[in-house]
Structure 1
């Protein structure tokens, strides 16, 4: 399949009459052929359209290195590693049959991620979205996990009468 027949950018440029450099057909300056004085020094007009294929994405706000560039990789990503290690230890504790304590560690790890994202100007790969969205996401998920761990049965450590009433109302009326 030739480049002209394919849907590639190069094939489209060739069909439009442009060469590899993107110049207009004709003269080397894009003037249409004669190379007169009116066309010298003029660049081909650019376009404001987005490129067909993007090659890069914008780094999220605060997504730079958390340590200088000459530091080893774990030191540059310490905020993310601290959250991952806390969540990993929590999952290990859950696997070792301490459900409530393990879930508390997972929730505390997520809440710690929210606090790090809020306090530090650069958190490396812990920054996924905008600062506000990251703080809200980590905070809400961490708080939900902690509250559910505290209210887990049997013998909950936290009892919220309102939620107990809602549960009894929904179960009783079915």
Structure 2
């Protein structure tokens, strides 16, 4: 009963901060000055496979102070592989279908199991919705990869409906650079 009585009393904190700002062991500006490297100068050096660079060394970002000549701009544009708009649209459509279809089936089956149990038609064992969720939502995640690989990467070639041949060709093409 005493515990409930204490809960009704207002809490008053006279000194809201127990941390004294004057006694900080490290000042953020002096900490950066004493380190052999600057934390603010860290940059990611990773590049996605197939989207620029040769993969042998991290790309160096050019500063704004250095003037660019036209040959370096042309060379930089040639190095970056641009995805044609037609191929990108095909890829997005395939990804939406290959992700959306299994996810929709998974949601419908979960709702169906709920209705069957609610109307007492079938007492659905607990493992059935778990397996259903694992299979259909897991295949939905794999749909992102399949949607991008099953698309024909050639702008002139449309490709097949399911894209099995394109997926095999694109898989080999993607890993061909690794072997070299």
If the TM-score is normalised by the length of the shorter chain, which range does it land in?
A: under 0.3
Give the structure, 1 or 2, with the largest relative contact order (CA under 8 Å, sep 6 or more): 2
Q: Greater helix share, 1 or 2?
A: 2
What TM-score results when the alignment is normalised by the length of structure 1?
Answer: 0.24
